[in-house]
Amino acid sequence: MKKLLITLVLIPFLGIAQTIENLEYISPFNNEVAAIKKGNEWGFIDQDGKVIIDFRNDLVLTKTGNATYPIFSNEKCLIAHQKDGILYYGYIDKTGKTVITPQFLNATNFEYDKALVLKVEKETIGYNDIFNKDVVSYHYFEVVIDKQGKAIDHLTQLAIHISPKDKEDKNPPTITSKFLSENLVAIKDSNKKWRLKKIE
């Protein structure tokens, strides 16, 4: 009876052990998780080797040192979803849940609980009587967002009116600003000169 009881007690614990095989890449730990790659998909494990985010194909890779892999920074990881041939960037948390819906033309990893993004805005500029539809213009600004994805500061005052659909280059437009500290951003202007801006 004792042997049966010990066996029944051990079985659940033995079932918890997890072996992950045939991985093509395992990143160093960053933000207490490591990225793992199988085929063309990436996932994440915690420090016990448990898969916390299963393999998926929407994680955005970050160049870190000599390698490129998805990372978590400030508890968020970049994702990208394609809509009408355009990639829009957003963020997930460590459960894999989308916490900021993909809506930006480009985005950086979070630093200091903020991120730099290219926010798209739609403007109705007229009406086409022949097609019975609004004539719209899309433009984007370089913006600082908070943890909820809300814009807290515009870094570029002039809108860039290039339609992403018309671009021959399918790479996302470049973010030209960078965080220098928690409240200080360096912004490169059209003359390739830098200006500093304090973020409240």
Domain assignment present for residue 69? The answer is no
Residue 147 has pLDDT above 50, yes or no: yes
- Per-residue pLDDT reduced to its tens digit, 102-144: 999 999 999 999 999 999 877 677 777 787 787 766 778 899 9
Same domain, yes or no: 42 and 137? no
**47 and 111 assigned to the same domain:** no
pLDDT tens for 65-105 read 889 999 999 999 999 999 878 899 999 999 999 999 999 99
Position 163 in a domain: yes
What six digits make up the tokens of 159? 């809108």
Is 78 inside any structural domain? no
**What value does the mean pLDDT of the chain take?**
85
CA angle 165, 151, 97 (to 5 degrees): 80
Same-domain status, 51 and 108: no
- 76: nearest Cα among 104, 49, 108, 103: 108
Asked, for residue 172, whether it belongs to a domain, the answer is: yes
| Consecutive H or E run containing 44 | strand 41-45
The Cβ of residue 115 has, within 10 Å, a number of other Cβ atoms equal to: 26
Expressed in angstroms, the distance from the first to the final Cα of the chain is: 68
User: What does the chain come to in residues?
Assistant: 200
The residue with tokens 């018309």 is 166
Same-domain check for residues 50 and 106: no
Q: Are 184 and 163 in contact (CB under 8 A)?
A: no
Give the total number of structural domains in the chain: 2
Is residue 47 in a domain? Answer: yes
Tell whether 45 and 108 lie within a shared domain. no
Residues 193 and 109 in one domain: yes
**In terms of residue numbers, what domain contains 115?**
101-200
Q: Per-residue pLDDT averaged across 36-51, rounded?
A: 96
- For the segment 138-152, the average pLDDT, to the nearest whole number, is 91
In a domain, 153, yes or no: yes
Could you tell me what percent of the chain has a pLDDT over 70? 82
Structure tokens at 117: 């993004």
Q: Are residues 199 and 105 in the same domain?
A: yes
Q: pTM (2 decimals)?
A: 0.81
37 and 123 assigned to the same domain: no
**Taking residues 36-65, what's their average pLDDT?**
96
C-alpha–C-alpha distance, residues 117 and 139, integer Å: 13
Pick the more confident residue, 176 or 167. Answer: 176
